[in-house]
Chain A
Amino acid sequence: GQNIDQPTEMTATEGAIVQINCTYQTSGFNGLFWYQQHAGEAPTFLSYNVLDGLEEKGRFSSFLSRSKGYSYLLLKELQMKDSASYLCAVLESNYQLIWGAGTKLIIKP
C-alpha cells in the first residue's frame, strides 16, 4: 500500500541546523517533492529529487535514497520565518502525488 511517514513535530533553535526525515512506500516512483506550508496558507515548492543524492538550494538541501525509500530535508542557519509545516510528497508511477501528513517545525530564539 501507499505510505509516507514524517515526524509530526520538531523543535529547533534559531541559527541551528535541522533535518526532517521522510520514508515512503508507494506504487512506483517518479520523484519526491518537499513543500513548505505556513499556517493557513498554501504549500509552496521547496525541492524536487528524482535521482539519488543531495540537491542544494541556498539554506535548504534535500537528499534522496530510492533503494531505502528515504529522503530528508536539511535546513541550515534557521530563521524564525522557517517556522512552518514541511510536507513530503511522492510522485507515483501513475503521476499522482501522495502526500505525507507534514512535519510542524517550531523555531525557538
Chain B
Amino acid sequence: DGGITQSPKYLFRKEGQNVTLSCEQNLNHDAMYWYRQDPGQGLRLIYYSQIVNDFQKGDIAEGYSVSREKKESFPLTVTSAQKNPTAFYLCASTIGERAEAFFGQGTRLTVV
C-alpha cells in the first residue's frame, strides 16, 4: 500500500543534541512538507520541497534543517538552535494542483 512513513513515533532528546526525524513516501508525490503542531494550535509550516534537491523555508524554519536528495525522502533535523523543540511533527506530501495533503503518523519529540 502507498503511504507516508514517519519514524520514530516517539523521540526523546537531551538539550543541546541534534536529532533527525525520518519521512519516506512511496506515493510518487513531488511535494513534501514538514509541519509542527503545538497543543491548541494549527499546523505551522517548517520547510517544504517541491522537487528533488530544492526546498524552501516555511514560517518557522529557524533551528531546523532539511534535505531532499531523493524524491521519496525528506528528513528533518531539529538542531540545538531550536529553543523549544518539544512538539508533534507531521510530514505530508501532495501531488498536483489540488494539493490534497497526505500525512505520516507523526513524531512526538520531547526534550528531556
Contact = CB atoms under 8 A, between A and B. Distances in A.
Interface of A: 4, 8, 30-31, 33, 35, 40-45, 48, 87, 89, 91, 95-97, 99-102
Nearest to B41: A101
A100 B42 contact: yes
A87 B43 contact: yes
Given A95-B97, A95-B99, A97-B99, A42 B105 contact: yes
Contacts of B48: 96
B103 interface: yes
A102 B68 CA distance: 30
Contacts, number: 50
Nearest to A102: B42
Contact of B97 (A30, A40, A43): A30
A12 B100 CA distance: 28
Nearest to A92: B99
Contact of B98 (A31, A40, A101): A31
Interface string B73-109: 0000000000000001010000001111111111010
B45 interface: yes
Nearest to A45: B100
Given A31-B98, A41-B105, A87-B43, 17 more contacts: A30-B97, A30-B99, A33-B101, A42-B90, A42-B104, A43-B101, A43-B103, A44-B103, A45-B102, A48-B98, A48-B100, A91-B98, A95-B99, A97-B99, A97-B101, A99-B44, A101-B41
